[in-house]
Amino acid sequence: MDGRQQGDSSPRHCRSRPPGVYGVQGTPNAKNIPGGRLGAVSWRDNQGNFWLFGGGGLDAVENFGFLNDLWRCNPTTREWTWMSGSSTLPSYNGGQPGVYGQMFTLGSKNTPGGRSGAFGWTDPQGNLWLFGGAGFDAAGTNGNLNDLWEYNIAAGEWAWMGGSSTLGVSGSVAGIYGAPRSLTSGSYPGSRNFGVAWTDQNGNLWLFGGYGEDAVDQHGDLNDLWKFVPTTRQWAWMSGSSTIPGAWEGWPGVYGQLGTPSTANTPGGRDSSAGWVDTSGNLWLFGGNGFESTSGGSYTNGFLNDLWEFNPTTNEWAWMGGSDEFASSCASLFGPVCGGNGVYGKLGTPSAANMPGSRVSPAIWVDAAGNVWMMGGEGFDASSSYVSLLNDLWKFDPSMNEWTWMGGPSTVSGNGQPGVYGTLGTAAAGNTPGGRMAAVGWTAADGSLWLMAGDGPDANGAMGDLNDLWQYQAAAAAPTFSVPAGTYAAVQTVSLSDTTAGATIYYTTNGTAPTTGSSVYNGPITVSTSETIQAIAVADGGVPSPVATAAYAIDLTTPVFTLSVSPNSLTLNPGASGVATVTVKPLNGFNSAVSLACSGLPAGVTCSFSPSPTTPSGSAATSQLTIAASGSAQLRRRSSPWLPDSTFALATCLLALKRRKNWRLSAVLLVVALGAGLLSGCAQLELPSTPQTLTITVTGTSGVIEQTSWLTLTMN
């Protein structure tokens, strides 16, 4: 993973958990940095700033617990600002209690309690929403929460928007489900942590699953899907079960037919999954820790790699990829955790057969093109029979339903790969974040992907909660050629293109690999000899794409010719003619007669060649092309728009009659005007038309070989 990192990669004690540097609240500073943590919540606001809240980690004095600090990062300056919450943890219980205030009311003292594994959304106004997680209520009780909060960025204050401010005797709050798919004020999700959150295209907030409480306060891996409408402040239970089977702590999945949506389909109960929203507004779910299907007669919990799509319009799930069952021997094969290995394929090459291994808590992003990027998590690599902290990078194209392995190792030794940090702030191909789980990520306004924190190894392999910040700029796609590589008998005009917005294409024609110092592509390239064109594309601020190569060879054994016209434009008046030169250039020993013709001429215009045919012999031959227009060509009658011809002429001549003292002479003039068509002359009705521009095709033919050229003709 190429990128830039910020933070401390060196070990802090045996845990490698760097403390936070908070600075002055509300004031950005280059020295500020959140402490190491996992299970935090991240958002991006409408101005492109990154936001971070809580998680389990270190405060300013290296106390470990559930944090409730809120941070803002400007990705341009890479400066952090501590915005709210506490910089230190209470020593007595490891987390700050929440200060709830009055429901639906912003308050400068309001603050959610410390927590990890909460849900987060951004609404259309750019405000931040927070739900649940494992943490502390208003009384300082530790458990699974179901409180809902909104942070108003403009006011810089929190408001408690729903749920309970205190936990029950079980350390949780049961859900109130109400009627399925019905928005009611009484419905409310139960306590939970490490579920999946989405914001749909209408600004509604969605959540799925997590580890928490059902309708009767039983805990386990949930598979319920909920929708919250901020404008009405109401929840609706949309699918899944309202209760957990007491014997198993989770329902198995109902997968149905691969790729086919159905109202009967439902993902199994799970926590620590990944989720995203596609460009059509559909919700996607991948992996996590939970339950497979029971089609094989089993009822097993483990690490999943199944892929699901939910359509909010039809309210239906579709199983889109991955496995619906663990291997029958997974308990013995994989030890205490069931799961499946990944199919990586070829680096950088998409394939329907590719599939990430089973995993929990990976980082996830969506780029500007709608592609999904996923990194790491805890899970299975390509071959190991045990779980590790992964740092593989994947890209998923929802339109093709295909995964591409983009970076990081396909196999992991030990607990996880250490990070390769390089030089602070400098992108390099060798830079790679170490393996990690429960990290956070942001997609910047420029399309770059940002990663921070999580639990994993540092640069020296020491395990702990990290606070390193990375930037990844995806490479541009490989350029494509308008003409396929091959052997040709004539000159070729080749165009290059790239699908990455704002990418610059560099190319060479001498067979050497291009760099950013090579020629910049600005238009078509003419290939007239044996050449090998190589090209790369570089995204704005990113890294080069793979080199795309094409060899264009002119067949030296096939005699051919080229045709050109000079000048390539003529302008003619009626009754006039123009002359251009047609050049026939032989290639590869061509010496046959070439017959010339033209097409596309308007009525009244002719063309002729002298000589025709013409025969090149060792050098180019020319022929004079003459285009002639007759006297009537392009003339059209045009009447006065405000007065008929005869009326205008008659009025003009009668006026002359009235003003003349010799009425006999005037009468004679009137008769002569009528007889000679002076009525039209008086009205000046014979006007030339608007000039016409046409494209004339000149064709040269010799046996089966035919070449064309063009000439622009303007007729006045």
Using the predicted structure, report yes or no on whether residue 22 has a pLDDT greater than 80: yes
Tell the CATH topology of 187-323: Neuraminidase (2.120.10)
What strands lie across the sheet with 531-538, from one edge to the other?
486-488, 548-554, 531-538, 504-508, 519-520
Q: How many CB atoms lie within 10 A of CB 668?
A: 11
Report the alpha-carbon distance of residue 494 to residue 84 in Å, rounded: 58
Which pLDDT does position 100 carry in this prediction? 98
Which pLDDT does position 1 carry in this prediction? 39
Which pLDDT does position 460 carry in this prediction? 92
Q: Which two tokens stand for residue 512?
A: 């050497």
- Can you list the pairs that 519-524 forms with residues at least 24 positions away whose Cβ atoms lie under 8 Å? 521/479, 521/496, 523/495, 524/482, 524/493, 524/494, 524/495
- Cross-strand pairs, 303: 289
Tell the CATH topology of 560-634+690-715: Immunoglobulin-like (2.60.40)
Report the alpha-carbon distance of residue 143 to residue 74 in Å, rounded: 33
pTM: 0.70
**Look-up: residue for tokens 């396909």?**
410
Q: What stretch(es) of the chain map to CATH 2.60.40.2310?
A: 560-634+690-715
Report the alpha-carbon distance of residue 509 to residue 552 in Å, rounded: 10
Using the predicted structure, report yes or no on whether residue 691 has a pLDDT greater than 90: no
Multiple choice CATH, 480-554, 3.30.70, 3.40.720, 2.60.40, 3.30.460: 2.60.40
Please count the helices (runs of H) and the strands (runs of E) in the chain: 4, 46
Q: What stretch(es) of the chain map to CATH 2.120.10.80?
A: 187-323
Using the predicted structure, report yes or no on whether residue 317 has a pLDDT greater than 70: yes
Which pLDDT does position 671 carry in this prediction? 33
The share of the chain scoring above pLDDT 90, in percent, equals 67
Which pLDDT does position 423 carry in this prediction? 92
Which pLDDT does position 494 carry in this prediction? 93
Which pLDDT does position 198 carry in this prediction? 97
